[in-house]
A = this chain, B = another copy of it.
Amino acid sequence: MASTLEEVARIAGVSRASVSRVVNGKPGVAPHIVEAVTAAVAATGYVPNRAARTLVTGRTGTVLVVVSGADSSLRQWGLGEVLADPFFARVAGGLMGSLRPRNIDPVLMLAVSEPERERVVNYVREGNADGVLLVSAEASDPLPGMLTRAKIPVVLFSRPSEPAPISYVDVDNHEGAALAARHLVARGCRRLGIITGPVEVAGAEDRLEGFLAAARRLSMDDVATAAGTFSVDSGAHAMIQLLAQGVDGVFASNDNMAVGAILAAHEQGLEVPGDVAVVGYDDTIAALMCRPTVTTIRQPIEAIAAEMARLLLDVIDDPGMPARHEVLAPELIVRGSA
């Protein structure tokens, strides 16, 4: 069916080794051989067989992109729901996009249960991928540890819950939340509130701390807090609690909850940002699906993704490399809600 190196060699009248060299762009091949091979490749429509190549080189040219978590919040979700979450969609898409130009193929997986985690480890142990790019949603997630123990090249999005010898790229959540606090105070808010994310998410805690610290520094010691779970509904519920405490400036730890908060404010007949200002986090599409549009903290997803890909490729090339970290800066995007 598909033609092979052998066939191309025969037609070009050269050895298989020469065809291999030309096809892989190796230097030091006589021009007339390059020409003959090129012609034969064109004539046959030859495409190298990846399995054969992988078998001998030990490299797959594939990287696993996995969204993982412990068993709690993500558990009831399928990959469809996770992808449908605007934030994960941006991250997964960014990661996959950053791999393409480097000519490596991304395979996407979700791992929120033990069998799924084992599947991830197995997948690369079977030689299907050279390493993994991991977006771990929860601090208690065992996958990062499993991967490093299996000596699988891996780079995380977000710092691991406990210090570990793993390379990662992160955004300064502390600073992002501080940006939100300063913006709210600068526009005149007198009573701040925050809708937190799930405690088991490391970044969510950082946002809470960062917000409180920045508020304190601005002499706003009494910040109202309400817990959310990153969903639109949880944002609405939390907002009702905050409103009862008389807040006029709210920071929601992600955009979904900011949308929920705005909807809840409207339902109580309040204007946003007139009566209460709202700042979100992530700058996802959700921030634009709402009136007013949501002022939010943008994570430089594309830069993160590019950095993760670069790091992983380095680790794959040199598995003994010491772990490296990169922390990028978030950015305030001012829109209608604050």
Contacts and interface: CB of A to CB of B under 8 A. Distances in A.
Interface of A: 2, 47-52, 54-55, 60, 78-86, 89-94, 96-97, 105-108, 122-123, 125-128, 232, 256, 259, 263, 266-267, 284-286, 288-291, 301-302
Given A78-B93, A79-B97, A90-B84, A289 B105 contact: no
Contacts of A79: 92-93, 96-97
Contacts of A85: 285
A47 B94 CA distance: 31
Contacts of A263: 291
Given A78-B97, A80-B96, 19 more contacts: A48-B126, A49-B55, A50-B126, A51-B55, A78-B93, A78-B94, A79-B96, A79-B97, A80-B89, A80-B92, A80-B94, A83-B89, A83-B90, A84-B90, A84-B93, A84-B284, A84-B285, A256-B289, A267-B291
Nearest to A60: B51
A80 B266 CA distance: 31
A126 B78 CA distance: 30
Contact of A290 (B51, B127, B289): B289
Copy number of this protein in the oligomer? 2
Contacts of A94: 78, 80
B80 A93 contact: yes
A52 B55 contact: yes
Nearest to A262: B291
B107 A105 contact: yes
25 contacts: A2-B125, A48-B126, A50-B51, A50-B128, A51-B52, A51-B54, A51-B60, A55-B55, A79-B93, A79-B97, A80-B90, A80-B91, A80-B302, A83-B89, A83-B93, A84-B89, A85-B285, A89-B89, A96-B108, A105-B107, A106-B108, A232-B289, A266-B291, A289-B290, A290-B290
